[in-house]
Amino acid sequence: MEQILANGLYLGAQYALIALGLTLIFALMNVLNFAHGQMYVLGGFVTYTVYAQLGLPFIVGLFASALTLAIVGALIEKFLFRPVIRRSSREESTMLLAAGIAFFLDAVILLVFGEKQRGVPKIVNGVLNWDFRLIMPYDRILIGFLAILAIVSFILFMQYSKTGRAMRALAQDRVAAQLQGVNVDRYSMIGFALGAMLAGLVGGLLVTITGVNLGMGGPTSIKAFMMVMIGGAGVISGAIAGGFILGMMESIGLSVLSQYGDITYLAIFASLMVFLAIRPQGLMGKPWG
């Protein structure tokens, strides 16, 4: 039981970080970022290149991932989403654009990094063994700890910095924020960059555990969508809750349902459907806000 809980917490921290980026972008711009999983994969490959290929310290790789994705995110917002949002007559167009970007990033990753599964050497060796009730490699503990640290600093940033306040105002009411003198274009760009950066950061963190390959993008986006559905779209606390809930459910499902075959996700989806029938806006979302 302790093992299941620890696994769930560790998974949940990663998932929450992915969902945070997605929900931030959604809250600020009403864009469903299909390319989120691809951004995560790109982050993983950047860390792989810096840490495993160039031999620099892991933390440098992590920073390189975050920085690369922040730049990519900012460019995508400025040159792709902004003109399309301005000119299109319905909000679905941005979904198409996001799907196109997802394909594009897939193609770029394929050309630059190839299609092989890539792993990196362990960052710390050894395994924590607490009386055989809880067995966890030290590197997982470290990664889980770093992920929680990132979540906490993200919340503090959103809560207390000027940029964070501006973004929260933007998410609440775009027009009102603009009337208060918030530079909407600038903070949309920062928000998108921040969301992409979070995806890159998780990619960099998880490459040390699971490795990275081209095919991980789509499934990651889907998991992120599920978390956002659970927690409520566009709400930061919801994304964190959704991430931890999905992590726990996956961890419990994998150990309890394993005797029936690989049906964890089927069970999770079925319960998600029942949940959505009762509460379509998710745990913390505003009804059709």
Partner 1 sequence: MKRNQIFALAAFLFVVLIGVPWLIQVTGRWDFYYTLTSVALLSIASAGVWLTFYIGRINIGQGAYALAGGYFSAILVTKLGVSFWLALPLAGIFTAVVSIFIGWPILRLRGVYFAMVTLVLTEVARLTALAMPVTNGAKGITSIPLPSGIASLENTKLGFYYVAVALMILVFAAMYRLVNSRIGHLCRSLQQNEELASSIGVNITYLRIIAYSISSFFGGIAGAMFVAISQSIYPSSFQVADSVNFMLNCFLGGLGYVFGPMLGTLVLYFGWDLLFQTGKLQLLIYSSLLILLMLVLPNGLLSIRLSSLFGDRK
Q: Tell me which residues touch partner 1 (CB under 8 A).
A: 26, 30, 32, 34, 80, 83-84, 87-93, 95-97, 99-101, 103-104, 106-108, 110-111, 218-219, 222, 225-226, 228-229, 233, 261-263, 265-266, 269, 272-274, 276-277, 280-281, 288
* Nearer CB in complex with partner 1: 82/165: 82
Cβ-based nearer residue to partner 1, 60 or 222: 222
The least CB distance from residue 137 to partner 1, in Å, is 27
- Least distance between partner 1 and beta carbon 231 (Å): 12
Query: Which one, of 58, 17, 70, lies nearest residue 190 by Cα?
Result: 70
- Of 156 and 222, which CB lies nearer to partner 1 in the complex structure? 222
Instruction: Return the number of the residue (181 or 261) whose C-beta is nearest partner 1.
Output: 261
Q: How far is the CB of 180 from partner 1 (least distance, A)?
A: 26
163 or 281, CB closer to partner 1? 281
Minimum gap (Å) between residue 134 Cβ and partner 1: 29
CB of 40 to partner 1, least distance (A): 15
Q: Which two tokens mark 190?
A: 């920062």
The distance of closest approach from Cβ of residue 57 to partner 1 in the complex, given in angstroms and rounded to an integer, is 33
Nearest to partner 1 of 58, 113 (CB atom) = 113
97 phi and psi angles, rounded to 5 deg: -60, -45
Q: Which residues pair with 127 in a beta bridge?
A: 137
